[in-house]
Structures are given as structure tokens and as C-alpha cells.
Amino acid sequence: MHRTTCTRDERAQMLLATGVVLLLSLLSMAVFSVKVAGLTSAHEPNADSVIETTKEVVDVLPSLTENRTELWVTNGVERLDAVELAMSSVNDDLLHHGEIRGVEIKMLNIVMVSIDSTTIEISLDLGVTDDSSTLQSQVTFTING
């Protein structure tokens, strides 16, 4: 009688398991590399931060300046001096606010013109910049103070 014995060769299974582990490792590194490479792409969720920040500054600037001007005027400061102090403090706050958000906000060439005894027109160049883009705009608004 002839007897056959089957021996299991586990080396092939170990080689296959090692190959699968290496393949999964390479795949995960490739996915991670693609994600890292795409961090600065234009489709990044915060890519519109310059536009959004500019819009927010333009929306809030008139009322913020007017409120701060009123505070200085009620403390006895002349109107144009109060506007200048208000604009200076707003500029400082916006610089700090921009640092927190990762953008740089600058107000340059600020011109204040007294229209009448209660109205002042303010015009300035607003610049908002992040790592990849810059938006410059001319802003003009009037306040009562």
C-alpha cells in the first residue's frame, strides 16, 4: 500500500501576507502624499479667505469707525482728530485680527474730508493678503460724528 502525505508549505502564505502588508503601506503613503501635495491647491476650503475677509472689513468698517469716533468726541476730542484716532485703532485691531485668521489686513492712504458739520467722508486703500493671494480695493464711506 502506498501512502501519500501532504505537507503544507506555509512559506508561500507568509510571503503573500508580507506582500499584502507592503502594498497597503505603499497605498496609504501614496494617499497621504496626495493629500499633502494638495494643501496649497486653489480648491482648498479656506482659499476664499481673502475675499471673505475683505467683504467683512468693508461691511463693518463704517459703523466701527463711527462708533469709535463718537467715543472720542464725547471725551472732548475734536471731530477730525477723533476720526483719525478711531481709524488708527481700527487699523491696529484689523492687523491683529488678520494675524489670528492667517491673513494680513492693511489700510493705507487714509484720507478724511469734512463734508459738513456732522458728516465726514473717509477713503482708503484696503489690502488683504494671505499666503497665495492679494486683494486690493478702494473703500469710501461717510460717517456722522
Q: Does residue 76 belong to any structural domain of this protein?
A: yes
pLDDT band, residue 97 (cuts 50/70/90): confident
> Is-above-0.75 flag for pTM?
no
The pLDDT tens digits of the residues spanning 6-35 come to 556 677 777 778 888 888 887 787 776 766
Q: Does residue 53 belong to any structural domain of this protein?
A: yes
* Statement: residue 57 has pLDDT above 60: yes
Domain interval for residue 124: 49-144
Q: Does residue 3 belong to any structural domain of this protein?
A: no
Number of domains in the chain: 2
Q: Does residue 98 belong to any structural domain of this protein?
A: yes
Q: Does residue 1 belong to any structural domain of this protein?
A: no
First to last CA, the chain: 115
The pLDDT tens digits of the residues spanning 72-93 come to 999 999 989 999 999 999 998 8
Q: What is the Cα–Cα distance from 41 to 109, expressed in whole angstroms?
A: 33
